[in-house]
Chains A and B, each alone.
Chain A
Amino acid sequence: MSPFDVLAALKQRGLLAEKQADALADFERQRPVSLHHELRAALYVGILLLTSGLGLLIYEHYDAIGDMAIVGGMAALCIAAFAYAWKNRPPLSTEQARNRSVFGDYALLLSCLLFLSLEGYVQYRFNLFGTRYGLVTFMPAVLFLAIAYRFDHRGVLGMGLTALASWVGVTVRPLELRLRTNFFDEPTVLAAIGLGTLLIGGALLLEKRRIKAHFTYTILVFGGNLLLLALLAGVFNFDGRRWLYGIPLFAVCVGFDWLARRENVFLYRLMGVVYAYIAATYLILFRLLDGMNYPTEAYLIYFVATGAGAVYYLTHSFRKRT
């Protein structure tokens, strides 16, 4: 319905006085079109283009341009962007705090992305960290997490968490949470479980202390997916110890479901249901029933019944608060 239809309906029901409705209609007619989100999207795309261009440039042309020019230029840009962000930094607070400038958040993002390119370059050219590869990912992780909390920046928080995950050996792409390293290596799986648990524990503790409580969601989703994926990998890959991974997995799923109810966050419940469903289906069909020895109908009935059950649980267990 157009705003004018709404006004007509409200007037008809006597919920709005004639004069106020007219004023609102004038307001709607005169209201400028907001390009807020479009312009920020353009800014974000510009930053991604610039940093990926510079990231490519150093590998394509480092001999032609010269090390000093590359390192100097990128470092200067990185420092300038950071200085701008620091100048406009939000007040030190445990609550949500906004940057004092419109562009501060973007300058910070640019600075952090440039830092990553720069770090990659000095490691590639000068082998700065030697074979201590862990340091290459651990350093930005710690740095970014600290910056994220100081500047109240969720994007940098995500970058820090990603770096932390790759430090323990899991390459997780931000946004898509796609795992590239294989989870067939048990130490990696255990490290991911450890990190996931630590992140969830940390997030819950910080929320209790009311320190940047709005970060809880990001950390819990990231840590929860990491932990549950690692446990699922354990269920799939390590014969003889499947239940050792399976039982904690179900416990974590129940935990997320409980959290979903407490915090009224639907994604937690979805995570719990999806991971538990995959693990349960795998364990029931391939472990308890030992393969596909039953008639096809039996498996199809299983999926019809469990699918319908999952849907019923998802839609009927609790309602959105309005």
Chain B
Amino acid sequence: MKAYNLTWLEERDIRQQADRWRAQQALTDEQVEQIRQAYPVRFKQTGTALEIGSFVFTLLAALALYGLVSITLDISSKGSGLVSLIMAGGTFAVAVFSIRSNQFYRNGIDNALWLVSALSAVWGLVLVFFERNDVFPPFWEVCLIALPILLAYIIYTGDTILTYFALAAFYGTIFDGLLDISWGKSALPFVLMGASAGLFGLVTWLRRSTANSVYYSDVLTLVQWVSLLIGMAAGNYYIVRELNAVLLPTRHSSSPDIALPGLFWITTFAIPAVYGVVGFRQRNRMLLIVAALGVAGAIATVYHYVGTWPLSITLAVHGGILIGLAILLIRYLTTPKNGFTDAIDEEPPLELLKHVGLLTTLQGTATAQNQPTGPRFGGGDFSGGGAGDQY
């Protein structure tokens, strides 16, 4: 069960990839035109600005409708779970109907309707719980109620905004739940690191093994980003120490040191370092960016606790170093090295094409393909380029 047409999404991906190859001069204009005709755009396209506008106005209308339904149906005006659930069902139906009749795909309207529907469902169930027991559930229980509902919505819609909420519910359950346990606070950083690692592993596995990974591509990427960042932050000395101070029952003028400071100093540097090494080996841009942020955070942590320089000099010196590093790397990567380059993805990578003679191969076969006889698969004897022995 999916809200959007999976085949249309795959077709959209094919078009985008073809456009990228054309920008890299790996496909000819005629070929891209053929591909575009074979895979027409079927979703309604409105553009980012209008999507944001549609999102906001849909949210406004839906919230006003929610208020209208509430004051009409909920006589006691204490907040009724049933009214929220009716609202959730109603907006869900409107979303499905409008997607079917308008070929929407993330046009703002559908995003807003999913959001209102999912959150109304969560809120409705929380209220039902509240009405049954007459005590408001603790935050981690609210998160625990929300998580399966949000997951079900995400599986159906592949929506990224709901993914943010689901991630908040996931980490909220862990965070608030642990604080209710006596040993929870000291275990918090380790549990957060472990949970993030588990989440990252799970999502990476899903991306490889799910047949529908096209549908969930953005969701999976988002979860990867957030789990990497939170896993790293949970091991950062500054964050652990200051968070610990905030959670203490008494206020201190400066945050007291934590247990196992040495271990957290190690993780402050080790986690970004591991990300960096793995990212470099796997040529993974996401890991490298998070690692760079982590190194910056680690340096800032050191300055916060043991630094003696004033802020202005620290900023200026590090700004200078960063500029220098960026300039050196840009210079260094003018020609691709170690599988990295400074060239833009959407431009023809001239160096590569020149060196491996790929361009001739591509153009040669493209011309051959346009011969009146047409392509014969399997038994083709195209003579263009001769790529095989050069690699």
Chain A residues with CB under 8 Å of chain B are: 1, 3, 6, 9-11, 13-20, 22-24, 26-27, 30-40, 42-43, 45-57, 60-61, 102-103, 265-267, 269-270, 273-274, 277, 296-297, 300-308, 310-311, 314-315, 319-320, 322
Contact = CB atoms under 8 A, between A and B. Distances in A.
A11 to B, nearest CB: 7
B330 A39 contact: yes
Contact of A304 (B38, B52, B65, B330): B65
Nearest to A320: B45
A308 B91 CA distance: 13
A1 B10 contact: yes
B52 A27 contact: no
A19 B67 contact: no
A45 B325 CA distance: 12
Interface residues of B, number: 93
Interface in B327-385: 327, 329-330, 333, 336-337, 339-345, 349, 352, 356, 358, 361-362, 365-366, 368-369, 375, 377-378, 380, 382, 384-385
Interface stretch (B220-228, B255-263, B312-320): B312-320
B41 A11 contact: no
B interface, by DSSP: helix, strand, loop or mixed? helix
B54 A19 contact: no
Given A17-B366, A19-B387, A52-B315, 18 more contacts: A6-B17, A10-B35, A17-B365, A19-B380, A20-B369, A24-B26, A36-B344, A38-B288, A46-B322, A46-B323, A46-B324, A50-B319, A53-B312, A265-B49, A306-B61, A308-B58, A311-B109, A314-B108
Contacts of B323: 43, 46-47, 50
29 contacts: A13-B38, A15-B35, A18-B378, A18-B380, A23-B362, A23-B365, A23-B385, A24-B21, A24-B362, A30-B356, A32-B337, A32-B341, A34-B343, A35-B333, A39-B333, A42-B322, A46-B325, A46-B326, A53-B312, A57-B313, A61-B312, A269-B53, A297-B71, A304-B65, A311-B61, A311-B109, A314-B57, A315-B44, A320-B45
Contact of B341 (A17, A33, A296, A302): A33
A269 B49 contact: yes
Nearest to A308: B61
A255 B386 CA distance: 58
B285 A38 contact: yes
B283 interface: yes
Contacts of B206: none
A interface, by DSSP: helix, strand, loop or mixed? helix
A266 B68 contact: no
B340 A53 contact: no
B60 interface: yes
A289 B175 CA distance: 49
